[in-house]
Structure 1
Amino acid sequence: MIIQNKKIQYLRLNHFLSISGIASRRNADKLIKSGIVKINGKLVNKLGTYIHINDIVTVYGTRVKSQKKIYILINKPKGCITSTHDPLHRKTIMNLVTTQKIENQKIYPIGRLDYFTTGVLLLTNDGYITNIFTHPKYNIQKIYHVVLNKMITNEDINKIKNGKIYLKEGKVIIDYIKYLKYKNQLKIKMHIGWNKIIKRLFKKLHYKVIKLDRINFGGFTKNKLKRGKYKFLSQEKVYNMLKQHLYHL
């Protein structure tokens, strides 16, 4: 199944080899440079090469086929990191998934939520989908429930609304921000995917985020999914959801 948009039908060759289980992305680069990878019968040894999703890729003359696509929606709890492995032996998001149910295939989290942040996260082995969710040009929406250490002033709310806050990456532009029950609880929607953007935004205004929960990620919501629990999604559901949220491309 393909989202019919010319901009999102390509991915890097090393990424494709990685998600197909041939090698890590770094080792895939070594394979490419060694001259054993072909695209549609033509030798490719240039790093950074992109392939079309319908291209035929071979390694040592054998066609590389993608793994069975797996999509998992998880409601990430606090106290675990968004990674497949942690050298400090902290709990990772992978510890929450029953490995038998993914048939020992390699899946990876899309994007990141830090150790204390909760909420919607996707896991998959579909590099096509991962590219869409993580590449800045696709501007995937994210909606957060934010709890601050104190009431926020109307003046600071307006600064955020009017794009008056700058971080090292540039101007912070959001879609909307509004109060919830109390003035220290906010709902904020944005498409920016900068690292720890929410916490840095409010720190700039001298507030501390004491709770951060992502309630929507590219149209996917927790939808009564308890904290720490997950569910499998069909490829059709994932692709149809993205079709709805890529109207701006």
Structure 2
Amino acid sequence: MKKRQEKRDASPKKPGANLNSKPGFKKPDANSKPNFKNPGKPFKPRLKKAPVDDGTIRLNKYISNAGIASRREADELIKSGLAEVNGKVITEMGFKVQPGDVVKFDGNTISAEKNVYVLLNKPKGFITTTKDEKDRKTVMDLIANATTARIFPVGRLDRATTGLLLFTNDGYLTKKLTHPSHSVRKIYHVKLNKKLTHADMDEIKKGVRLIPEGIAEVDNISFIEGKPKDEVGIEVHIGWNRVVRRIFEKLGYEVELLDRVSIGGLTKKNLKRGDWRHLTEQEVNFLKML
């Protein structure tokens, strides 16, 4: 009986007979101590390196920042061979300009200063100019703390006119907003010295001849709801000098108040008189699509 038991113990065990056993796993001895002499390497997650700003800029963006054209248009200009870097004509798409490179477009040296866009709610008494020989107050005094970049007013408002005035160093956008072919509309609130007759309103809608430019056409004119008949809203896209005042003066009216309340869809909302703000990226993109 004893021999039969020994024989049974000597027989090989079937795989899985011991439920506590696992392939490649050895149960540690309760009395054994952990071995710290040769520990495994700690897990280190692989992190993507942040892109390094090496100061380079794509040539199409450089040209766009210089205010010459949009990036898409700049690509076509580069293909046509109008761009030079350090005296060499560049037609390669994606070419990067290095710090210190001299970039020329159509033979003229250009700078890729970052574009800045500032919107001012102009008060009375300030002249729309970058410098006044008589040392009078200018609109530049109002935006002195807006940016260190050299920006310029887009169009102008005369000294007595209030309202929205845009400043930028983006030559491409300036041209777009001021050129008559783009029909960028501006809305004014006008207060006259007397009530505007319906006959004169119809005359304005037809177009008033101004010398020397010709017929001044308005996009819309109407009385302001809830206001006396001496206050109107007028919408124009032509950029002639003092055009709104001259239209009413031609018909025998004096403009007592002229306030630009909108330009290219931008409004004075939450912008107090004399205050300024930077345009959002969305607003800039909208203006470029006009």
> Could you say which residue in structure 2 is the equivalent of 1:30?
none
Question: For residues 95 and 142 of structure 2, what CA distance do their matches in structure 1 show?
Answer: 35
What SS does structure 1 have at the residue aligned with 2:129? Answer: coil
Q: Secondary structure at the match of 1:223?
A: coil
Cα distance in structure 2, aligned partners of 1:152 and 1:237: 35
Question: What are the superposed Cα offsets for residues 65-84 of structure 1, whole Å, 9 maximum, x if unpaired?
Answer: 42111111110000001111
* 3-state SS, counterpart of residue 285 of structure 2: helix
Distance (Å, rounded) in 2 between the aligned partners of 1:215 and 1:234? 18
Letter in structure 2 aligned against 1:62? V
Q: Which residue of 1 aligns with 2:153?
A: 109
Query: Which structure has more RCO (C-alpha within 8 Å, separation ≥ 6)?
Result: 1
Consecutive unaligned residues in structure 2, runs of 5 or more:
1-62, 69-80, 86-93, 104-109
Following TM superposition, by how much is the alpha carbon of 1:237 offset from its aligned partner in structure 2, in angstroms? Answer: 2.1
- 2:56 equivalent in structure 1: none
Q: How does 1:83-232 map to 2 (within 5 A)?
A: 83-99=129-145, 101-102=146-147, 104-163=148-207, 165-167=208-210, 168-180=212-224, 181-232=227-278
1:55–1:198 Cα change, 3 Å: farther
Give 5+ residue unaligned stretches, structure 1.
Answer: 1-9, 17-37, 43-53
Mark the structure with the bigger radius of gyration: 2
Q: Distance in 2 between matches of 1:97 and 1:188?
A: 27
158 and 55 in structure 1: CA distance in 2 versus 1, 3 angstrom threshold: farther
The separation in 2 between residues aligned to 1:56 and 1:89, in whole angstroms, is 44
Identity of aligned residues (%): 43
For residues 40 and 232 of structure 1, the distance between their equivalents in structure 2, rounded to whole angstroms, comes to 31
Residues 180-230 of structure 1: CA deviation (Å, up to 9, x unaligned): 211110000111111100111011001000100000111111112110000
C-alpha change, 1:131 and 1:55, in structure 2 (3 Å) is farther
Q: CA deviation at 1:98?
A: 3.5
Equivalent residues of 1:40, 1:56 under 8 A apart:
no
TM-score (norm 2): 0.62
Between structures 1 and 2, the one with greater strand share:
1
Measured on the aligned residues, the alpha-carbon RMSD in Å equals: 2.8
SS in structure 1 opposite 2:156? coil
TM-score normalised to structure 1 length:
0.72
Q: Partners in 2 of 1:65 and 1:186 — Cα distance?
A: 44
Shift of residue 242, structure 1, vs aligned partner: 4.1
Question: 1: CA distance between counterparts of 2:84 and 2:275?
Answer: 44
In the alignment of these two chains, the number of paired residues is: 198
3-state SS of 1:213 partner? strand
* Structure in which a larger fraction of residues adopt helix: 1
